[in-house]
Structure 1
Amino acid sequence: MWAMTQSSISLFFRGKLFAEPAKAYRQIAIGVAVTAILLVLLALIGAPVWVASLLAAAIGGSLQPYLFRNLRYR
């Protein structure tokens, strides 16, 4: 299991994990942007920072499978 994780990380940073790296990076950027916007909005409406970060991370993390559903791997 650990070897598979190391291999995937290595392929990701070499740009060889995804068949379309630009699409994968765009989807990652969308997830990061949604999470950041949620964090800022929740903090602005008065939620404590730890609650805002917890909720933003949970929502952003649950969004990743939806964003990555059509990505093809090599």
Structure 2
Amino acid sequence: MALTSMKLFFAGKLFQNPLRVFGLSVVGVAIALVIAGALLYLGLAPALAAAISGFVAGVAQPYLFRNLKYR
């Protein structure tokens, strides 16, 4: 099942609207970058800032992708 999903994803046939998936992924990355930048500005260690921003962005993914439609 995972291999089939990977093949469909890379062929661009897994989602009904691949551009929406790309846009939402960009939003998730932007969230992580803003949080990491803010934490670095506040003086946190880079590894800790990366861990926190990655966690927050990961928690946001289900919310961002809640309405995606598959083929």
Other structure's SS at 1:71 match: coil
Match runs of 1:49-68 below 5 Å = 49-68=46-65
Q: For residues 45-70 of structure 1, what are the alpha-carbon distances to aligned partners after superposition, in whole Å with 9 as ceiling and x for unaligned?
A: 10111110110000000000000000
Runs of 4+ in 1 over 3 A off after TM superposition: none
Name the TM-score, length of structure 2 as normaliser. 0.93
Alignment RMSD: 0.8
Structure 2: stretches of 5+ with no match in the other structure: none
Name the TM-score, length of structure 1 as normaliser. 0.89
* Aligned position for 1:38: 35
Structure 1: stretches of 5+ with no match in the other structure: none
Identity %: 38
Residue of 8, 22, 26 corresponding to 1:11: 8
Other structure's SS at 1:57 match: helix
Q: Distance in 1 between matches of 2:40 and 2:2?
A: 34
Question: Between Structure 1 and Structure 2, how many residues are aligned?
Answer: 71
Deviation at 1:71, TM superposition (A): 0.4
